[in-house]
A and B are shown apart, each in its own frame.
Chain A
């Protein structure tokens, strides 16, 4: 019997779970998951499951430790949402773990969070098909909605198809999010190429597609992403209403 696993499963029961993921790295998962959680707003808990990079805490500008009370790890409160990151447990130490331990750390992170008052949990997953995805499946019984993030790049879409196919086999509902899809400078331009490949993927697997704009100003909000109000946030607000 594994008490932490039971506790983690129980905490996710009755809550809406959304997982932002990709088979490819560097496509903007942490920015998308942060802005999505902020768009859903009050009652949303964002959990950074990328335990090796802990990028979400950096986007929000947190470098302090989580308080621990009788209810467990207290989320940071920011922009009307809660945020949990392993960086609030290990400070600025690097995290380097054998695969089996990654799942156990993820289970602990979910099990120990005080989720009182949160109706929705948004997970920011690391890239790839690995232990993190398997752990999420174990803890939720596959009851989650996936936002699969790609860029228009042909190689990204080819790699992401593995994940789309896997989630389809596992009957997990999903959306395809094409990040950095277009730039609006009075007219729509596509510096990273068209989205025909992404549309084809969306149609073949029957998953809705959302395009995200390129907004270079997002870089100015690293450390204070909760203050960003630009076009990317507006696009994610539209997705938030359809989840």
Chain B
């Protein structure tokens, strides 16, 4: 259900940006989502299609790109990938079920994951936010957005 809030945020953000830049019609929005959130694309698209009505995104489609996170430990310098902490992620999902906290707040990941070498939570996470990456504007083509 939390996908509805994410869709709301996407529509509001792109609508505000379109108004500020005097763009009247958006035809495509591409978002990057951390794959460890396990967001449900079908629900996200259903919510997006409902919320976009009456906004400059009315005729737009939503494209979703799932991105794997990478981690660097600030304590010992070790770098590792999302696949390498799959066991830890599965354990969190098993503990929480549908209320999996990283689904709701991916920025909580350093609190739940730990460095594979030293066990520290002092982790820098690359790709940990939901971001609008590209917007296609009618008559202007594709515009890459800056985070």
Q: With contacts defined as CB atoms under 8 Å apart, how many contacts are there between chain A and chain B in the complex?
A: 102
List, in ascending order, chain A residues with CB within 8 A of B122's CB.
Answer: 98
The answer to whether A204 has its CB under 8 Å from any CB of chain B is: no
Residue contact A105 to B1, C-beta cutoff 8 Å: no
Residue contact A89 to B105, C-beta cutoff 8 Å: yes
Partner of B111, one of A4, A6, A96: A96
The answer to whether B77 has its CB under 8 Å from any CB of chain A is: no
Interface SS of B by simple majority: helix
Residue contact A69 to B1, C-beta cutoff 8 Å: yes
Across the two chains, which residue of chain A brings its CB closest to B123?
A98
26 pairs, CB–CB < 8 Å, chain A vs chain B: A1-B131, A1-B146, A2-B131, A2-B132, A3-B6, A4-B129, A6-B12, A68-B2, A68-B104, A70-B1, A71-B4, A72-B4, A89-B99, A90-B108, A93-B112, A97-B110, A98-B110, A98-B124, A101-B109, A104-B105, A104-B128, A105-B108, A108-B105, A108-B107, A111-B5, A112-B2
Residue contact B110 to A112, C-beta cutoff 8 Å: no
Tally B residues with Cβ within 8 Å of A: 40
Residue contact A7 to B101, C-beta cutoff 8 Å: no
Residues of B within 8 A of A (CB): 1-2, 4-6, 8-10, 12-14, 16-17, 31, 47, 74, 96, 99, 101, 104-105, 107-112, 121-125, 128-132, 145-147
Residue contact A96 to B4, C-beta cutoff 8 Å: no
